[in-house]
Structure 1
Amino acid sequence: MTADGAPFRPSGVLRVDAQLVSKPVATPSRPLHSAGLEASEEAMGNDLSAWIGVVLWSQALALAAAATAWAASTWGRAQAWLAGVPVVTVLGLTVTDQVALLLPNLM
């Protein structure tokens, strides 16, 4: 199963059916059915609980950006960049990671 449509904007699900031509391999006895999956694990599903992380990490990012701006006026630009850029970068990547959870899972 994979996404169908334009890159980074899927519009549907592409399912492939195949025929086994070799000897089958033994598998665990637990069959996987779509009824047993969470909504976020279904095709084109997303994790809506990630909004909490997006909001909280975005607030931390805004605070770090404000602290870096304050440090630039207090300490000087070079010192503020040295202390603030790594923190803002890590928080920006963390926010991006949380936003990625909101995207459809077959992208």
Structure 2
Amino acid sequence: MMRRRVVRVFIAVAVALVVGANVLISLTGCSAISSGTITRKEYRPAYETSVLTCGAYGKYGCTLWIPIPEHEPASYRLDIRNGDKSGWVDVDQTTYDQEKVGDWWGGRS
């Protein structure tokens, strides 16, 4: 009985993490603007973190906390402006290194 509860909790947490990650990816992938002058370059180094999740519940709540490690890779972003519109685009390291602030990004609009 207790084992089933632990499995259910673990599955619920795993599903919540996957759904949350998909929402974040869809919201942070890039902005609506696709071309413009590069106004800033932003680099964020890779990092490791962990999230605590409850692995077993007892009479008074959680009795076993399990750390779940998460790795966030390095990210490279170019902020762009085209007239009164501004936004950003996520790029790979090679593109990030090649582009300079003041360069034009994307097609002309």
TM-score if structure 1 supplies the norm length?
Answer: 0.29
User: Hey, which of these two has a bigger chunk of strand by percent?
Assistant: 2
TM-score, length of structure 2 as denominator length: 0.29
Rg larger in structure: 1
The answer to which structure has the higher helix fraction is 1
